Amino acid sequence: MSKLEIQGLRKEFAGRRNHVAVNDLTFTVDEGELLVLLGSSGCGKTTTLRMVAGLEQASAGRISIGNKVVCDTTRRVDLSPNRRDVGMVFQSFALWPHMTVRRNIGYPLRARGLKQGFKEGWIDEAARMVDCTELLDRYPGQLSGGQQQRVAVARALVARPSLLLFDEPLSNLDARLRDQLRNEIHQLHQRVGFTGLYVTHDQSEALALGDRLAIMRAGQIEQLGRPREVYENPATEFVAEFIGMGNSISLYKTPSGWASKSGQLVGRVPDVSAETANLRVRQQAIRLGTIDSLAPGEMGVEGGTIADVEYGGASVDVVVKFVDGRSVSSRIPLTGEGEHRFELGSRTTVIFSARDAKLFPTSPAGSAGTGQPAHNDVAPEQKAGVS
Amino acid sequence: MVLFIVFVGLLVLRPIYFIIDRSTLNNGFTTAFTDPFIWQAIGTTIVLTVGAVVLALVVGTALAWFSLRLPRGLGWMSALPVMSILMPSVASITGWIFLFSPRVGFANTVLRTLPWWSDQTSGPIDVYTTPWIILCTGLQIAAFVYLFMSSGFTGVNSDLIEAAEVAGSSKLGVFFRVTLPLVRPSLVYATATAILLALGQFTAPLLLGRNSNIQVLTTRIFTYLNSSPVDFNAAAALGVPLVVIGMIIVFGQRALLGNQSRFVTHGGKGFKAVGRPSWSGVVWIGAYALLTAVLPLLAIIIVAVSPRWSADIVPSTFTLEHFTSALNSPEILSSVKNSVLFSLTSILIVIPIGFLCSAILVYGRRFKLCQIILDFVVAMPLGMPALIFGLGFLLAYSGPPINLYGTSSVVIAVYVTLMIPFSVRLQSAAMLSLGKQYIEASQVAGANLWRTMLSVLLPLMRSAFGAAAALIFLLLSHEFAASMLVRAPTTQVMGTTLYDLLEFGSYSAVAVLALIMAAVSLVGLGLAFLLGGRGALKGL
């Protein structure tokens, strides 16, 4: 296992408009660390992974795995995938249908001429790690999706490559299997301590698996940090939204302080040097009530109307609509007693703790979403996440 | 890789170059186009092409549509229209001669027992006339249209059709506004193929038109080559229009189908018949199979076992003597041997060529220019009549610096060239459907190019190889037009021998040889099935 270093990595796709898929990317994955690239489709995360694997040619930049430079466009180095000593798990499993599971897992050993691996029983060891020992003599077509992906993980691991790559390995599985396999990959990483790069669009997967995670957008890293750091202190409004702060309340400055077109703003809003800003709050952090119930340190927006109530078992989702057409969604846990009643059309106030809210100034240019959060007590322990 | 593309390019383009080159020598054009019969031949060619294409498109599409709505338990009938492709074209035309020949054709004899025609001694059908040549050609081409259209229809996601019905369209409206536009790629492909096949049609005009002097461009080329002295230049000049039209169609097809992603209809549930099963489909498909395969085959069998071909069928006189004499005839035996040998050798050569071409076309994204050139070169043999390639090889390799005339190499070279498009099409389709994932997984696992090819790609392509081999064997064992031009007394194949026997009027031997041809194709198919596994015949 070794360190992965990426410097100034860039990928342009020739086309009618030269599309830049990955734009000057620089990051490091330390030895034994699992880094998750998180982003929506088209953000360049898979392209990055494929460039590390050598399946895609970099337009510019340098990639090194351990002490070996596998790609350096200035020195015209570009090793083919088979000379990069990596293992990869594909979204579509990509198990060769004409080989048994044993031959599938053993393939990297044969391809790399690792006779030692056959002698020392690496195949059985890898199969044991992913709990597939009894499947070794079957064909991929006879396995379920979850089993296939376990075998694919074993195949990626078996030759003990310097680096493991995961290309959305769980997104072809159904929800329950996904959670289970996510758990297994996590445990495997704890046990084996491989260096890994993991691509996904699922935030819960990223939070659960990553030692660190990088949120990508338009070919660049928006924020890179430990999961908790990113979750609690999103660096930009884009990250905040991606990581689950779905509610946005737009504010503007008046001589007497902040105000909102949505309704009467109650509570102390920190002062930031901007004319307009968006307040981002997570669904779970919002409760509904009356202005009298406002506790110290809480903020509220008055004047909403309950527009929709959606029952969800352990909780209920209530959509509150404001006069300016914006709406806020709140997830309220259902505790057996003191049953909440939400009448459609009734007036209510949206209440949340100031600590749970993040204020993002929207720059005068109007490019909402790229604004850095204010340095204030709403986001006190803010750090620049990108290293 | 560049060397390989140059090799394929030379193989395909050199003969075409020679046709164009020779046509300009010694007044080739003047001779060919001032001939008093030429305009008549051009007229017949146009009439025959248009008539056959329209007939083939209507019949083929209708059959394909009906084949999806067959009643339960009769689903096997959807394979029937394809059966007529299994029948060698020369054989089924021979069958038609036996059926519809004006005096002694079996069908005519039967029709004359009906009151309307009871007073006649010949007819009412004369297979040796233009309308019947059109019918014969059109029905044969309909089988190809059927093949493309039924795969087009089955590719249509039935959700799209149901969505249109739910949106309030009538059944007919859905067919014309949703279904037909969705199968446009198949329709374009089928139309282009039908035009090319009809334009290059040689077998039916030659076999049926020779008695009544009905000539088309292809048969006139043949006439020039069999006149004495041989006029290569005039033959080449007549070939030029066919070359040009072929090129236009190949270019046009590529332009029309340029952006295929618009037509991605897969991934859904696939076609599911909507509405009630239709019994009229059973009738039409049955009638088609009867007319193109069953009746001709029956007629051939009857002629083969009768002492001689006559209007009356007398079962008591049936005999196997023609079979025994055929099996003792050196010319029939050597033609069978040659056909099998040439076909198998060509398969051994054209499958690897097709594999390499497909690999470049599917995986060679880094070599855009090579891909474009190769894509075009590979499509050429499909764009031009087989006869043109026969002519081209005759011109290109019958004189210094390379004289191969009369050798088996020239026949095999023509066969290989003609089969390149089929080999590439089947294999590249298989590679496309495999996707890149298996290859990439192998690369990442540390395998080099050779190991990836040998351990991953080749095994996964096995059934595609089988399918390609089966189709190519089928087409080559039936090959007639190109063989007619490059043959020499030592390189006679089944089709050319059958033609000679027909010229001599040895109808019994013709019938036996036609049956042997059908049998050889079936054996070839069976072998491909064994080698290629279950999937082998799916590609057909």
Q: Is residue B16 included in any domain, yes or no?
A: no
How many angstroms separate the CA of residue B252 from the nearest CA in chain A? 23
Q: Does A82 touch chain B (CB under 8 A)?
A: yes
Q: Is it the case that residue B317 has pLDDT exceeding 90?
A: no
Residue-level pLDDT at A16: 58
User: What average pLDDT does this structure show over B199-216?
Assistant: 82
Residue-level pLDDT at A387: 34
Whether the CB-CB separation of A242 and A273 falls below 8 Å is answered with: no
B-chain residues within 8 Å CB-CB of A111? 442, 445-448, 451
- The CATH number that applies at residue A338 is 2.40.50.140
> Same structural domain for residues A20 and A147?
yes
> Same structural domain for residues A223 and A108?
yes
Q: Does A342 touch chain B (CB under 8 A)?
A: no
Q: Does A94 touch chain B (CB under 8 A)?
A: yes
User: Tokens in use for A208?
Assistant: 């659960």
- pLDDT, greater one: B198 or B165: B198
Q: Is residue B239 included in any domain, yes or no?
A: no
Q: Is residue B198 included in any domain, yes or no?
A: yes
Percent of chain B with pLDDT over 90: 4
Whether residue B124 has a cis bond before it, omega within 30° of 0: yes
Q: Is residue B225 included in any domain, yes or no?
A: no
Q: Count the domains in chain B.
A: 1
Sole residue written with tokens 């064997």: B473
The span from the CA of B102 to the CA of B356, in Å, is 51
Task: Answer whether A159 sits within 8 Å of B446, measured CB to CB.
Answer: yes
Q: Is residue A376 included in any domain, yes or no?
A: no
User: What average pLDDT does this structure show over A10-18?
Assistant: 76
- Work out the pLDDT band at B267, boundaries 50, 70, 90: very low
Q: Phi and psi of A331, rounded to 5°?
A: -105, 115
Task: Answer whether B438 sits within 8 Å of A96, measured CB to CB.
Answer: yes
Triad B244, B248, B251: Cα angle to 5°: 135
Q: Supply the range of the domain harboring residue A250.
A: 244-362
- Test the B interface: residue of A84, A88, A91, A96 with most B CBs within 10 Å: A96
Q: Does A15 touch chain B (CB under 8 A)?
A: no
Q: Is residue B168 included in any domain, yes or no?
A: no
Shortest CA distance from A51: residue in chain B: B444
Q: Is residue A380 included in any domain, yes or no?
A: no
How many angstroms separate the CA of residue B1 from the nearest CA in chain A? 19
Q: How far is CA B319 from the centre of its chain?
A: 33
Whether the CB-CB separation of A329 and A247 falls below 8 Å is answered with: yes
Q: Is residue B21 included in any domain, yes or no?
A: no
Q: Is residue B247 included in any domain, yes or no?
A: no
3 state DSSP class of B212: coil
How many angstroms separate the CA of residue B445 from the nearest CA in chain A? 5
Tens of pLDDT, residue by residue over B424-441, are: 888 888 888 787 888 899
How many angstroms separate the CA of residue A90 from the nearest CA in chain B? 8
Q: Is it the case that residue A71 has pLDDT exceeding 90?
A: yes
How many angstroms separate the CA of residue A342 from the nearest CA in chain B? 38
How much helix, strand and coil, in percent to the nearest 5, is found in chain A?
Answer: 25, 35, 40
> Same structural domain for residues A173 and A201?
yes
> Same structural domain for residues A194 and A65?
yes
Q: Which of A82, A84, A85 has its CB closest to that of B448?
A: A82
Q: Is residue A39 included in any domain, yes or no?
A: yes
- The CATH number that applies at residue A128 is 3.40.50.300
User: What average pLDDT does this structure show over A285-307?
Assistant: 86
B-chain residues within 8 Å CB-CB of A85? 446
Whether the CB-CB separation of A376 and A272 falls below 8 Å is answered with: yes
Q: Supply the range of the domain harboring residue B460.
A: 41-156+186-216+279-539
Residue-level pLDDT at A195: 93
Q: Is it the case that residue A250 has pLDDT exceeding 90?
A: no
> Same structural domain for residues A85 and A119?
yes
- pLDDT, greater one: A351 or B11: A351
Least confident of A96-105, A163-172, B24-33: B24-33
Chain B interface with A: residues with Cβ < 8 Å: 366, 435, 437-438, 440-448, 451, 455-456, 459-460
Least confident of A13-27, A99-113, B151-165, B227-241: B151-165
User: What average pLDDT does this structure show over A7-22?
Assistant: 82
Sole residue written with tokens 């446009």: B184
Residue-level pLDDT at A154: 92
- Work out the pLDDT band at A10, boundaries 50, 70, 90: very high
Task: Answer whether B443 sits within 8 Å of A108, measured CB to CB.
Answer: no
Instruction: For residue B14, give every residue at least 6 positions away whose Cβ sits within 8 Å of its Cβ, in sequence order, or none.
Output: B392, B396
Q: What is the mean pLDDT of chain B?
A: 79
> Same structural domain for residues A33 and A146?
yes
The ipTM (two decimal places) reads 0.78
Shortest CA distance from B463: residue in chain A: A98
> Same structural domain for residues A220 and A273?
no
> Which residue, A201, A232, A263, sits at the end of a domain?
A232
> Same structural domain for residues A167 and A292?
no
- Work out the pLDDT band at A357, boundaries 50, 70, 90: confident
How many angstroms separate the CA of residue A175 from the nearest CA in chain B? 21
User: What average pLDDT does this structure show over B170-189?
Assistant: 76
Whether the CB-CB separation of A267 and A294 falls below 8 Å is answered with: yes
Tens of pLDDT, residue by residue over B41-97, are: 888 888 888 999 999 999 988 888 887 777 776 767 777 777 777 778 888 888 888
B-chain residues within 8 Å CB-CB of A90? 437, 440-441
Q: Which of B445, B448, B460 has its CB closest to that of A155?
A: B445
B487-516 burial code (b ≥16 CB/10 A, e <16): beeebbbbbbbbbebbeeebbbbbbbbbbb
How many angstroms separate the CA of residue A110 from the nearest CA in chain B? 8
- Work out the pLDDT band at A368, boundaries 50, 70, 90: very low
User: What average pLDDT does this structure show over A148-159?
Assistant: 91
- Work out the pLDDT band at B258, boundaries 50, 70, 90: low
- The CATH number that applies at residue B430 is 1.10.3720.10
- Work out the pLDDT band at B386, boundaries 50, 70, 90: confident
Residue-level pLDDT at A369: 43
Helix axes A122-129, A101-111, angle to 10 degrees: 130
- Work out the pLDDT band at A337, boundaries 50, 70, 90: low
Triad B362, B365, B368: Cα angle to 5°: 110
A-chain residues within 8 Å CB-CB of B459? 96, 98
Q: Is residue A373 included in any domain, yes or no?
A: no
Q: Count the domains in chain A.
A: 2
Whether the CB-CB separation of A148 and A140 falls below 8 Å is answered with: yes
Beta-carbon pairs below 8 A across chains A and B: 66
B-chain residues within 8 Å CB-CB of A165? 444
User: What average pLDDT does this structure show over B334-339?
Assistant: 87
> Same structural domain for residues A226 and A313?
no
Q: Which of B437, B451, B455 has its CB closest to that of A94?
A: B437
A-chain residues within 8 Å CB-CB of B448? 80, 82, 111
A-chain residues within 8 Å CB-CB of B445? 82, 87, 107-108, 111-112, 155, 159
Sole residue written with tokens 């004006």: B102
- pLDDT, greater one: A378 or B160: B160
Q: Is residue B107 included in any domain, yes or no?
A: yes
Task: Answer whether A87 sits within 8 Å of B445, measured CB to CB.
Answer: yes
| Single-letter amino acid, residue A231 | Y
B-chain residues within 8 Å CB-CB of A159? 445-446
Q: Is it the case that residue A255 has pLDDT exceeding 90?
A: no
User: What average pLDDT does this structure show over A163-174?
Assistant: 90
Task: Answer whether B446 sits within 8 Å of A97, measured CB to CB.
Answer: no
Percent of chain B with pLDDT over 70: 88
B-chain residues within 8 Å CB-CB of A88? 440-441, 444
Tens of pLDDT, residue by residue over A187-219, are: 999 988 899 999 999 988 999 999 999 999 989
Q: Which of B441, B448, B455 has its CB closest to that of A94?
A: B441
Q: For chain B, give the longest Cα–Cα distance.
A: 83
Residue-level pLDDT at B181: 78
A351 beta partners: A287, A300
User: What average pLDDT does this structure show over B391-403?
Assistant: 77
| Single-letter amino acid, residue A191 | R
User: What average pLDDT does this structure show over A343-367?
Assistant: 79
Shortest CA distance from A88: residue in chain B: B444
> Which residue, A177, A212, A232, sits at the end of a domain?
A232
> Same structural domain for residues A89 and A207?
yes
> Same structural domain for residues A193 and A290?
no
Task: Answer whether B456 sits within 8 Å of A85, measured CB to CB.
Answer: no
Sole residue written with tokens 């193989």: B11
> Same structural domain for residues A224 and A316?
no
Residue-level pLDDT at B29: 67
Q: Is residue A367 included in any domain, yes or no?
A: no
Residue-level pLDDT at B32: 65
Q: Which of A82, A85, A165 has its CB closest to that of B447?
A: A82
Residue-level pLDDT at B259: 43
Q: Does A108 touch chain B (CB under 8 A)?
A: yes
The span from the CA of A143 to the CA of B80, in Å, is 37
How many angstroms separate the CA of residue A88 from the nearest CA in chain B? 7
How many angstroms separate the CA of residue A81 from the nearest CA in chain B? 5
Shortest CA distance from B439: residue in chain A: A94
Instruction: For residue B377, give every residue at least 6 positions away whose Cβ sits within 8 Å of its Cβ, in sequence order, or none.
Output: B5, B8, B9, B12, B13
Residue-level pLDDT at B262: 39
Verdict on whether the full-model pTM lies above 0.95: no
Q: How far is CA A108 from the centre of its chain?
A: 30
Residue-level pLDDT at B538: 46
User: What average pLDDT does this structure show over B442-468?
Assistant: 87
The span from the CA of B469 to the CA of B491, in Å, is 22
